[in-house]
């Protein structure tokens, strides 16, 4: 396992979880994710990416929500867990993300190549 994947796994275990509003996908838009995270997701064609981008959506968003929820990128996991990425429906975990972990994730985002999902 690469050092980058080790960091991603560490961050995933430290981002608090919470229940979303059923059927909501308000935070599912075009986002950037690390190349390693993208490589673990199902392939989407350029046409699928273009359609999603035109709708300001994500190519992994299906009729029943996120099709890659368990493997979703870190940025998607952060929505609703930090005051900087507030859930538009007011949902949040009991305790927001530890600011030290959030700072490490921010540093990771600056250091690692990211591509548009």
Q: What is the pLDDT of residues 29-84, one digit of tens each?
A: 999 999 999 999 999 999 999 999 999 999 999 988 999 999 999 999 999 999 99
Q: In the chain, what are the helix, strand and coil shares in percent, each to the nearest 5? A: 40, 10, 50
Say what the pLDDT of residue 64 is.
87
What is d(CA 14, CA 34) in angstroms, rounded to the nearest whole number? 18
Q: Are 105 and 84 in contact (CB under 8 A)?
A: no
Query: 25: which DSSP letter?
Result: -
Say what the pLDDT of residue 1 is.
81
Say what the pLDDT of residue 41 is.
96
């Amino acid at each position: 396992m690469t050092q980058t994947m080790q960091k991603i796994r560490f961050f995933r275990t430290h981002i608090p979880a919470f229940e979303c509003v059923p059927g909501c996908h308000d935070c599912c838009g075009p986002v950037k994710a690390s190349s390693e995270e993208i490589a673990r997701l199902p392939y989407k064609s350029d046409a699928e990416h273009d359609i999603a981008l035109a709708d300001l959506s994500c190519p992994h968003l299906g009729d029943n929500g996120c099709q890659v929820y368990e493997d979703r990128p870190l940025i998607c996991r952060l929505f609703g867990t930090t005051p900087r990425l507030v859930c538009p429906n007011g949902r949040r975990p009991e305790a927001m993300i530890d600011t030290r972990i959030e700072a490490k994730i921010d540093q990771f985002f600056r250091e690692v190549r990211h591509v548009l999902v």
